[in-house]
Each structure stands twice: as structure tokens, then as C-alpha cells.
Chains A and B, each alone.
Chain A
Amino acid sequence: MTTSTFSGTAPAAAAPAAVVERPVETKRSLRSVRRSDVLALVGAAVGAVSCTSLLFFRLAPFSGKLGFVVVAYLLFLGFYALLVSRDEAGPVVRDRLAAAVSHSLAFVLLLAMVVVIGYTLWRGKDAWSHANFFTEDMRRTGPLDPLDVGGIAHAAVGTLEQIALALVVTVPLGLTCAVFLLEARGRLARLVRMLTEAMTALPSIVAGLFVYAMLIVSHVVERSGLAASIAISVMMLPIVIRAADVVLRLVPGNLKEASLALGASRWRTVWHVVLPTARSGLTTAVILGTARGIGETSPVLLTAGYATAMNANPLQDPMTSLPLATFQLVKSSQPEMIARGFGAAATLLAIVLVLFVVARVIGGKPPGQLSKRAQKRAARASERDARRFTIEAVHQLVSEDTNRRSA
């Protein structure tokens, strides 16, 4: 933004300036998007699509949707650079091209995600439109049966039981370990931290293979929901510990120091200051770990076995979960089975989406930052305290005064 040349000069010089006839000032547009930018963008896009259409449908024997998109995109970049270079210098042209490429890469990634989710839900609607899909198991369903027979109730129950069992182990153990890493110093803490970080690299199939070889081959546990939840726990534990560790480390040090300075003991500081401050973050960490654990197929594949019947007992007999059911159903060549597989995948995806939304709602904020309502609540509480204190102080003063007078 430039200012008028006269505005900064001394008052002595301002006198003749007032005489000079100044042109009427028009308001300058300070917006970062100019009309020529938009025109260049639109022009390049229209030109690229037209040229590619000409090339594909009239001139050259090219075909294919992907090829069309790629050629059109490259032409678009070329035209855009050409149009911008008519008004601007080299660095600006490069700037515009980089912005265009960055925008389109982000668009491609998000488009891919929408396609992955949308395709699964769309293919899953065939199975979802039959209510029995959610209430029956596959016990009496042959490979050729239509979709109004059989469902995935057994897999849904299996998934819920397995993840619940895994959470019962991983959440208390993981949080205790994270607190240990936060509070303890010394060789043991370093060793635990190193090993936890190493174990996040453990591929999930190897976790499954471990449980398979250690517990199932040696007949300690048979293929069951319990074995599957142990495998999921082995996979989830390092993830939960690391996520919780990161969140606990974000708790401001001055809060902890204030608590210690007020005379609180270490465990009271952790229990009443550190954990409540990090609560939303910890919840998010656990929920995201759950989303990872619930969708894992490979450890379950080796340890749960595959059952077509409802089995609510995790201690014996194979127990199917949703990802495993998806995997087994789509390996069939029957379209009904594949539709059921997509239905199971869509159900799994829906559970993950819900978990994710819940995680965002609970913990979108870093520790110590309160929502508006929580802020108001805190303000009201401290107001109440202040009033109580003043009233008590007044009472005390009055009673002291009465005492003195009576004495």
C-alpha cells in the first residue's frame, strides 16, 4: 500500500500542497484475488478441456478417461502459465503454478478418500437395505442364498467383544505406563520408552503371528475371541502409550509446579492436575487407538478363526469380527457374498466414522483451552468462591468485633 507523497511532509511544505489540484482518489482494491487471476484460471481451464476434447475425439486415436484427465491437466498448467506470464514476471508465474499444483494434489488426495468411503458405502447399501443383515448370522446361509437370508450380527458382536476386551487391558495399562514415563527418570524409564517406540514398528501381522505361535500352537488358548483380543492388545498397546505420552507432555509445567508449590504430593498432582487437564487429549488418543484396533484384520485372521454362527463366548470356539468377515466374504465369487462383504465393510466404516466424530467432539482442543461453556462455568465457580470468601471474612470480622466489645 502506498501513501500519498504529501502526507508525511512537514507543515511548512503542506501550505503550497493545499493549492495543488489533486486528482480524485479512487478506492483501491486490497483483495488478494484480482479479476485477471480468475479470468486466467477460467480461461486456462476452458482452453485445456476444449483442446483435449479436440485431440481425443477428432484428431488423435487416444482414448481412456484417465488419459483425458492427465492430458487436460498438463495443458491447463501450460495455458495457465502462458496467460499469467502476459501480465506478470517470472517469479509470479512460478508462484501461481506452485499454488495450482498444491491445490490439485490436495484435491486428488481428498477425492481419493471420498471415493474410498463413498464406494464402500454405496456397494454396502444392497446388504444394508435388508434388515435381517443386522439381526441374523450366517449359520444357515449357503453361498447361493439371496440377501434376505443371513447377516453379520455375529461379526458385529465379535468386533465389539474383542475391542472391549482389548480396551480393558490397554487403557489402564497404557495410561499407567504413560504416567510412569512422565514421572520417572532413570534407566528403567529410558528402556521402557525405547522398547515402546520400537514396538510401534511391529507390523500387525507379526503381532498376530506371535499370539498364534505362543498361545494357539502350544494349546494354551484355542482360536477364540480372547486370542484375537490379546493380539489386538499387543498391537494397540504401544500406539496408546505413545499417543498418551505425547498428550501428557503437553500439560503446561507451571500447572504442575503450582500444584507442587501448594503442597500437593506427587500423586495428587498427577490425579488432580495432570490427568484432568489432559482428559480430552487422552480420550482422543484412546478413541483413535480404538479405531486402529477395530479395523485391523491381519492379527485377527491368525488368531480368531472364522465362524459363521453367533458366538458370544470369547473363551472358546472361533469368533468372527467385522474386518475378518469382510475379508472372508469378498474372497467368494458369488455376488451375494461379495455384497455381504461390502455390507460388513460399510458397517465397520460407519463404526470408525462415529468413533472419529466422537473423538473430534470430545477433544478438538489442546489441554488447558476450554470451550465457551466450560469457561463460563469456571468463571461462575470462582465468582461463587470469591463471594463465599468475602462473606466468611466479613462474618469473621464481625464476630471478632463482637468478641472484643464484650471483652
Chain B
Amino acid sequence: MTVVAVEPPHAEDVPRRLADRPTPADRFFFLFTRAGGLSVLVLMGLVGAFLTYRAGKALEQANIAFLTTEAWEPDSGNFGIAAVLVGTLLIAGVAILIAFPLAAGTALYISEYAPRRLRSTLISLVDLMAAIPSVVYGLWGFFLLQPHMLVVGQEGNGLVRWLATYLGWIPLFAVDGADPGDPLSTATVYTSSTFIAGVVVALMIAPVMCSVMREVFSQAPVGEREGAYALGTTRWGMIRAVVLPFGRAGMIGGTMLGLGRALGETIAVYLIISPIFVIQPHILQNGASSISSLIALRYGEASGFGTSALMAAGLALFLITLLVNVLASAVVNRSRSGAVTG
């Protein structure tokens, strides 16, 4: 950018005209980056437009029944996302309930309690955990967590059976076909459930949530921290009075970011659940479903119309995760801590 001052001929002070004339190299540079931005815009727009266009055919035929039908038989025209949507939300809900305390506790530990020397190592470790491929989490869930920790042996001893036995009176924890009093009952009713998939997804999203929360916790103003100490409070008192109120929006935003990841998770869930196409509110019972695993399960056998129906399901999933992410960034940006970090 070359700024050229055009001097008036007479000596009086008048506002000078400042003209911004980009050099040819600059002009090329602007054009080039603009082309890059435009091509990304076109590519991303293409994904969205194509999804909507292809989903349109299926949505036109199914109409409002798309939201209320449980079965998935697109070739006979009887299909909808009621069951898979509920399944997706239940898995994500279980995951969030488990991941939130883990993430918040770890974030507090790293930002408040950990020795200063360990801090950067811990941050790297949490980031590393977020980078572990989902198929590895799936393997762990299927080969270690389920058979060795949650549903052990022929009788299915473990946390799941304990929950079903003692909390089975809550409809959510009820398990049809399981008799807690019968020691010979099989473990299969407790396997491949929403709950186990949720535990695995929780471990996948906890590091993502943790790094957002840690970031805002560590931004809490030093002056206010020292003020709280000077008034004689304990460390926990300082955290409750300064760090948590300051980081509340970050906690909400991080949790919603994790929720977005949990809703879209495919492979780990696919490896663990045994898919069913009815609304299954019993989270401990065999049989679960999610939109992403529906797509992974059915894409191969799909006809032209079946692909369109899967597209509609994918579009619904995309819209939900989009909504969650937009809300998350709005919450973070409008808060006090967001003003610092943003």
C-alpha cells in the first residue's frame, strides 16, 4: 500500500487528500486470497446445497412423518428419524453427564492445583487424548470396557447390572427381560446398550470440553484472585467466588462443543451398539441407535431413493450439531471471559 499525499499549491493548512493506491503486486495478492476465500465458500456451499437438494426428494415424500416414524424402510416409503434421533440424543446425554464432571474437575486441577512445571505437560496430554482416533476408543470400549469392566462374565456382573437391579424402578434404568433375582440370567440383555456407548463417547469428548474450560479458567483475572485471597478465603472459596463465575460461559460453551462432537460420533458407537429402529428409552438395555451409525450401516444397500433418505437423516444431524455449535460460540463470545479470549 502506498500512501500518496497530494500537496496543495498554496501554503495554508487544509486537510490533505490521502489516496490508497495498491501496487500491482498488492492487487494480485488481494485477488489471489479472495479467490482462495471464494473457492472455500463455493466448496462448503456445495456441500450444504447438495445435501439439502438430495434430502429434498425424501423429505417431500415423507413430509412431517419423517420426524415421527420410527422404522427405516425407505424403499417401502415408511421411514423416519424418531427412533434414531432419540437414540442419538440419549447417547449424547449419557456422554455429557459423565464427561462434564471429568472435564470440569480436570480443567480445575490443571489451572488451579497442578504444579507449575507439570502444567504444560498436562495440557499436551489432554490435547493428545483429543487426537486419539475414534476407532481406537471403539476398540477399547468393545474389547475391554464392556466385557471386563461393565458387564463381566456370563451373569453380567458389574455396574450396569447393579444399576438395573437397584435403580430399575426408574423407567430410564429399567431392563426388560432381566431378572435381578435369577443368578442364571444371561449377560446379553445388558450389552451393546446406550449406556456403554455413552461411556465411550464421554471419554472422547471430555478432553475437548476440558481444554475449552481450562482456557477460560486460566483467564480469570489475577487481581480478583488475589483480592479473594486477601480477604482471607481458602483456595476453594477463591475458585467459587472468582474462577467459576468468570468461567461459567466457557463451561457452558465447552460442554455444548462436546455435545456437538458426541452427536456426530460414528465409528465408536457403531462398534458397540446393536442397532434397533424403535424408540428405546431404557439406556441399560441391549439395543440402541444413532443417526450416524444408521448412515454407516445402510449406505451400502441404499437405492437412489434410499441414499436420498440417508441424506435427509444426515441433514437433520448436521442441522442439530450446527445449532448446538452456534449456540456454544454465542454463549462463549457474549460472556466476560469470551471478551478476553476472543
Q: How many residues of B contact A (CB 8 A)?
A: 101
Across-interface contacts of A397 in B (CB, < 8 A): none
Whether A206 touches B317, Cβ cut-off 8 Å, given contacts A99-B235, A120-B139, is: yes
Across-interface contacts of A104 in B (CB, < 8 A): 105
Q: Which residue of A105, A173, A195, A323 has the most chain B CB atoms within 10 A of its CB atom? A: A105
B33 contacts A95, C-beta separation under 8 Å:
no
Task: Tell me the minimal C-beta distance from A158 to chain B in angstroms.
Answer: 15
Consensus secondary structure, chain A interface: helix
When the two chains form the complex, which single residue of A119, A201, A209, A260 contacts B311, counting CB atoms closer than 8 Å? A209
Whether A192 touches B40, Cβ cut-off 8 Å, given contacts A66-B149, A99-B113, is: yes
Across-interface contacts of B304 in A (CB, < 8 A): 217
B210 closest partner in A (C-beta): A109
User: What CA separation (Å) do A261 and B237 show in the bound complex?
Assistant: 49
When the two chains form the complex, which single residue of A106, A113, A301 contacts B128, counting CB atoms closer than 8 Å? A113
User: What CA separation (Å) do A67 and B165 show in the bound complex?
Assistant: 14
Q: Mark A236-273, 1 if CB is under 8 A from B, else 0.
A: 01100100000000000000000010010111101000
Task: Tell me the minimal C-beta distance from A42 to chain B in angstroms.
Answer: 19
User: What CA separation (Å) do A200 and B322 show in the bound complex?
Assistant: 8
Count of A-B residue pairs with CB < 8 Å: 290
Across-interface contacts of B236 in A (CB, < 8 A): 91, 94-95, 98-99
B37 contacts A188, C-beta separation under 8 Å:
yes
Across-interface contacts of B39 in A (CB, < 8 A): 173, 177
Across-interface contacts of B331 in A (CB, < 8 A): none
Across-interface contacts of B54 in A (CB, < 8 A): 213
B292 contacts A203, C-beta separation under 8 Å:
yes
When the two chains form the complex, which single residue of B38, B112, B271, B321 contacts A203, counting CB atoms closer than 8 Å? B321
User: What CA separation (Å) do A265 and B21 show in the bound complex?
Assistant: 11
Across-interface contacts of B124 in A (CB, < 8 A): 356, 360
Whether A123 touches B40, Cβ cut-off 8 Å, given contacts A102-B112, A297-B133, is: no
- A362 close to B (CB within 8 Å): no
User: What CA separation (Å) do A189 and B131 show in the bound complex?
Assistant: 30
User: What CA separation (Å) do A64 and B318 show in the bound complex?
Assistant: 41
Whether A238 touches B133, Cβ cut-off 8 Å, given contacts A206-B317, A266-B22, A267-B25, is: no
User: What CA separation (Å) do A16 and B330 show in the bound complex?
Assistant: 68
| Extra inter-chain contacts (10) besides given A91-B233, A174-B40, A348-B135, CB under 8 Å | A67-B159, A99-B235, A115-B144, A180-B37, A205-B314, A267-B26, A270-B29, A323-B135, A327-B271, A364-B120
Interface residues of A (CB under 8 A from B): 63-64, 66-67, 91-92, 94-95, 98-99, 101-106, 108-110, 112-113, 115-117, 119-120, 123, 173-174, 176-177, 179-181, 183-184, 188-189, 191-192, 195-207, 209-210, 212-214, 217, 234, 237-238, 241, 260, 263, 265-268, 270, 288, 291-292, 294-298, 301-302, 323, 326-327, 330, 338, 341-342, 345, 348-349, 352-353, 355-356, 360, 364
Interface residues of B (CB under 8 A from A): 1-2, 22-23, 25-26, 28-30, 32-41, 43-45, 47-48, 50-51, 54, 101-106, 108-110, 112-114, 120, 122, 124-129, 131-140, 142-144, 149, 152, 157-159, 162, 203, 206-207, 210, 233-237, 239, 260, 263-267, 271, 292, 295-296, 299, 304, 307, 310-311, 314-315, 317-318, 321-322, 324-326, 329
